[in-house]
Structure 1
């Protein structure tokens, strides 16, 4: 029952965030939407900020626990960011509230994990083909570069009103930079 109630609170919160900004959502709105008492809400979450952290962290954990299709980092990122892509208004409402840094942390976590997995897979291929080693600090530099570039583009997309299709944007970036990760890892292999 407790898990069911917690899930109902999360779903109400997500539904409300898709309708309006975070700072316009109250605990009363959430409890009215899911038909529970304020005490029940407080049994599960300290406040709305704790609920927000829980929702974002749960999605990051979902990403970390699944085996992403890593044929391309683009597919991996789209798969990992499914929640954000399906709830664009929610992300926009959180980002344009006092919780901007939470959205940024969430995006960096997802982009970082996708790039880490992809770079790790490509590193194995490069090392096998070149009979050389790619050192962890070089892998990390490649991961960080692409993580920051990807999140920067997404933040720009949020700041400019989310007019472009995010999947199309990610695929276009992938097309433009196709082969660069492999080339970078090949260059630093020793």
Structure 2
């Protein structure tokens, strides 16, 4: 029952966040929406920030598992890109709070973990040193998250085109050998 109550409070928080700035959401808003006592809230969370952290952690784990289950890199990219389609207003609200860095870090961690798994489990880059792998993972993860954050602010983004363009970029289609151009 404890997890159900926690999850209910997170759902209430996200419901409220759909129409109210995240920084203005109060404990009273959550307990009223859930129909629970204030003490129940404090049994599970210290404050609103902890609700946000829990919600981000839960969503990050779900996102990571979905991408790890994806059969191809393109499918995994589509899952990452789909975060723009699922709840862009909520993402933008998170990005407009003092939790911006935490949201970015959570997304970055999920993408990095995906690429690390891709490299190690599928032996994609067998000739690279650990240092080189770290640079590849950091570079591509940062590029994808930066792109997703930029596109989260745009209207009417064609997510399939964005996925295809990211995939082509990662595969070297746009800049195969920049030095010899």
TM range (shorter): 0.7 to 0.9
Number of residue equivalences? 173
2:163 aligned partner: 170
Query: How far apart, in 2, do the equivalents of 1:173 and 1:52 lie?
Result: 29
How much does 1:70 deviate? 4.1
Residues 173 and 65 of structure 1: is their aligned pair in 2 closer, same or farther, counting only changes over 3 Å? closer
The match for 1:180 among 169, 172, 177 is: 172
Alignment of 1:75-114 (within 5 A): 75-79=75-79, 85-114=85-114
Partner of 1:10: 10
Gaps of 5+ in 2: 177-181
Aligned residues of 2:81 and 2:159 also touching (Cα < 8 A): no
Contact 1:112 1:143 in 2 (8 A): yes
Shift of 1:6: 1.0
- Choose 40-49 or 53-62, whichever is displaced more: 53-62
Displacement after TM superposition at 1:61 (Å):
2.6
Shift of 1:9: 0.5
Alignment of 1:24-43 (within 5 A): 24-43=24-43
TM norm structure 2: 0.81
**1:41-190 equivalence runs, <5 A:** 41-65=41-65, 67-72=68-73, 74-79=74-79, 85-121=85-121, 124-125=123-124, 127=126, 133-158=127-152, 161-165=153-157, 167-168=159-160, 169-175=162-168, 177-180=169-172
Quote the RMSD (CA, aligned, Å): 2.6
**8 Å contact from structure 1 (residues 94, 100) kept in 2:** yes
Using the TM superposition, give the Cα deviation of residue 54 of structure 1 relative to its aligned residue in structure 2, in angstroms. Answer: 0.6
Given the superposition, is the C-alpha separation of residues 65 and 144 from structure 1 closer, same or farther in structure 2, using an over 3 Å criterion? same
CA contact (8 A) 1:85 1:166 kept: no
SS at match of 2:69: coil
- The unaligned stretches of length 5 or more in structure 1 are 128-132, 185-190
The residue aligned with 1:19 is 19
**Contact 1:57/1:106 (8 A) holds in 2:** yes
